[in-house]
Amino acid sequence: MTVLPLTNLGHPTLRRRAEEILDTADPGWGTLATDMIETMEAAGGVGLAGPQVDMPYRIIVFTVPAERQEVDEPKPPPGTQVLLNPEWFPVDEDGNPLDPDFLPDEDDEEVWLDDVDSSLQSMDLLEEGLEGCLSIPGLRGLVPRFRRILYRGTDLNGRHIERVAEGFHARVVQHEIDHLDGILFIDRMIDLRTLCFESELHYLLEGRLDTDDEDDD
Ligand code: NI
């Protein structure tokens, strides 16, 4: 087991689309996953994606701490999860995929942000939450994510995994899969004024950081 060096914001691998893993049965992925888990734990994180250790392949590891689980949410699997070639999409209360007409075109960043700001948030499909990233050490920011998703991928035993996730579980999966597409949490933020160093985060949490544009109701 090895703690691997982390790539930091500015490293080109963090901005590339990671490659599909074709030989999911290759034991080398298990070795990499073990090292990634050790790296994640050593850094005090809850998720890590291949590009964050300069491995541009579609592999993620993550865990959902018990204190981040709400009782009314589908129970996350225990322990640390490893997924190869993961993907996700937003689903409704019954686990059915949302009408694609509701969804913004993710290739068009402006449309994405506009839609996030208006319709999706008002429809209660998104929720904002604080995120950090081991590749952007020391910083936190408010990021909108889909509240409920279905995700799938392949585990290290070659099994097809498919789960519905809500809340923090859904958030960490969206964050890690974004890494595989060269997207960082700061790219998803609506208001960069909520980007804070951890040492100053209490101002945001105490409501002392004025980030309201106009209406204060
Ligand atoms: Ni990250």
* 3-class DSSP string for the chain: CCCCCCCCCCCHHHHCCCECCCCCCCHHHHHHHHHHHHHHHHCCCCEEEHHHHCCCECEEEECCCHHHCCCCCCCCCCCCEEEEEEEEEEECCCCCECCHHHCCCCCCHHHHHHHHHHHHHHCCCEEEEEECCCCCCCEEEEEEEECEEEEEEECCCCCEEEEEEEHHHHHHHHHHHHHHCCCCHHHHCCCHHHCEEHHHHHHHHCCCCCCCCCCCC
Q: Which tokens in the block code for residue 132? A: 């950090």
pLDDT at 216: 45
Q: How far is the centre of ligand 1, averaged over its atoms, from the C-alpha of 179 (Å)?
A: 7
What pLDDT does residue 34 have? Answer: 98
| Whole-number pLDDT of residue 123 | 62
How confident is the model at residue 117, as a pLDDT?
55
pLDDT at residue number 217: 47
Active-site entry in 127, 176, 198, 206: 176
pLDDT by residue (tens digit) across 134-149? 999 999 999 999 999 9
176 belongs to the catalytic site = yes
- Please list the ranges in the chain whose pLDDT falls under 50: 111, 214-217
Dihedral angle of Cα 175, 182, 52, 34, to the nearest 10 degrees: 70
4 C-alpha vs ligand 1 centroid, how far in Å? Answer: 15
Distance 113 CA to ligand 1 centre (A): 20
Cα(129) to ligand 1 centroid in Å equals 14
- Ligand 1 centroid–CA 134 distance in Å is 6
Give the global pTM.
0.89
CA of 127 to the centre of ligand 1 (A): 18
